[in-house]
Amino acid sequence: MTMQQRTEPSPAAVLIAVAVLALVLTVAFGPLGFVIGLALFALMFIGTKNGTSEQNAATRTRSRIRRLSTAGRVAIVGESYYQDAIAEVARHSTAQTLDEAVPATAVLVPEPSNRHDRQAVRVDLLRGDGSAITAGYLRSDQAADYQPLLLELAERGEVGSCPARIVGGGQRYYGVHLHLGDPRLLLLDHEALGTAPTLPAEQQVTVTGEEAHQHVLHRVVNGRTPVHVIAELRDCRIDNGSHTGEHTLEVLLEGERIGQLTYAMGLRYCEIAQEWRAHTGRALCEAVITNEGTRGLHANLLLPK
């Protein structure tokens, strides 16, 4: 998936147009026309130089969207300057709480040339046609942690994306909250399952039975831990123990089983997974694989509370 943003006339095109105008004025009015044309040229040149870093649309490009971890909640700043843009994405809806929030998709754009803050990270929201419009910025202290990773993505022609929630409207300013993971585990190491949305990553849930599937886990981590991946949940039945025959969820990586949820966790998440699957096509979630030494590789799922 790519993000397309609106383009504006380049500074060079503007200067050429003004230069042509200056030449026409010189031919028509002689020395006076030349002076007027030169003054216009100078004013446009200065305005173009000063405005370049301020125009969000000046360097719009097409980038491949890279999904980021959603295992965290981040509120952005500066939304008061972009109320019309946020209202457009929210379709002027009103949401008083996060439970009522309007869902959106955010992209994070590092701005190392921002004259106000060299570590700035701009937050854009995607419209329905795939174009992006600015909604605000990360707080400066957070941006300092996120920007290096986002610059790495930019060098590869990628832009980081995460779910967003829009609240406000009516008599209230719109605000934007991001479902964005900690920088330490921001980049997902396995994205073979595409761009389908993942379940809200709010708490860790243990996977059982991994000892029988260590070969799958080792292939996925490829010698690196911790590894942040996307897993799939499917309905299954418990095949041993006191709850044999009862429903639970099996956990798959790259289409292969790595374990299952306990009976208690199955009771809690089976219906949630079914609803998510009906809505999105697949019940996907984030997971973190760690090395537990003599216990082998271990996976913790990140699921809703």
Per-residue pLDDT tens for 11-49? 555 556 555 565 655 666 666 655 565 665 556 555 544
Per-residue pLDDT tens for 129-157? 889 999 999 999 999 999 999 999 999 99
Cα(205)–Cα(217) distance, rounded to whole angstroms? Answer: 17
**Closest to 146 (Cα-Cα) out of 176, 184, 113:** 184
Say which residues have a Cβ less than 8 Å from residue 47's Cβ, sequence separation at least 6. none
Q: What percent of the chain has pLDDT over 70?
A: 77
Least confident segment among 33-47, 92-106, 150-164, 241-255: 33-47
> What would the two tokens of residue 215 be?
């070969």
Angle at 259 between CA 256 and CA 262, to 5 degrees: 145
The H or E element containing residue 239 is none
Per-residue pLDDT tens for 155-187? 999 999 999 999 999 889 999 999 998 887 787
Instruction: Give the predicted TM-score (pTM) of the model.
Output: 0.65
